[in-house]
Structure 1
């Protein structure tokens, strides 16, 4: 959805128009003396900004919730990867300890045979 030139209202700066948008930033021009301000997109629309067009506002809020779902999914994925890595490390440590115990047992057997 095209957001450039959409009219917005900020709780403190008043009315302005969107002049630029990137993936996670939005630039809004307010009347002087405020001028150009940059906000995190779409997060700022949850707290500070409102679109004049209700359909566009709904789109932006949906973008926010979609981003939140993606962030949560990524956190869960990272947590799962960390858990798997910890399990691999524990298995490697246990295997190393078992190998050390087997080597020590073989050494003891060999010493007993010599005597």
Structure 2
């Protein structure tokens, strides 16, 4: 989504204009005393930065929610893989520690 030249409102920096954006970052120019700022995209729109146009803000909120859901899924996969790896390592360690049985020697 190209947001170049769109106006935004930051809760601290005030009104700004989007200079550029991609799937990971958005660059905004604020008043001269603030200047150019770069934010994580679309995450910043869930908290400190709002679009002037409500329809774009709604789309960005949806993009943020989608990103959050994808990250949660990735974390679940990583957690499951880590648990499986821990179980595999524990099983290998248990096998390695199993003592071998020695035959009893009869004394005459």
Same fold, TM exceeding 0.5?
A: yes
Distance in 1 (CA, whole Å) between partners of 2:59 and 2:72 is 20
Distance in 2 (CA, whole Å) between partners of 1:73 and 1:36 is 34
- Any gaps of 5 or more consecutive residues in structure 2? none
Distance in 1 (CA, whole Å) between partners of 2:38 and 2:44 is 10
C-alpha contact (below 8 Å) 2:2/2:21 kept by paired residues: no
- Cα deviation digits, residues 7-43 of structure 1 (max 9, x gap): 1111122211111113221100112222211112112
- Cα deviation digits, residues 74-98 of structure 1 (max 9, x gap): 1111111110011101111122233
- Any gaps of 5 or more consecutive residues in structure 1? none
Count residues with an aligned counterpart: 108
Deviation at 1:113, TM superposition (A): 6.5
Alignment of 1:28-107 (within 5 A): 28-98=28-98, 101-102=99-100, 105=101
* RMSD across aligned positions (CA): 1.8
Distance in 1 (CA, whole Å) between partners of 2:56 and 2:45 is 11
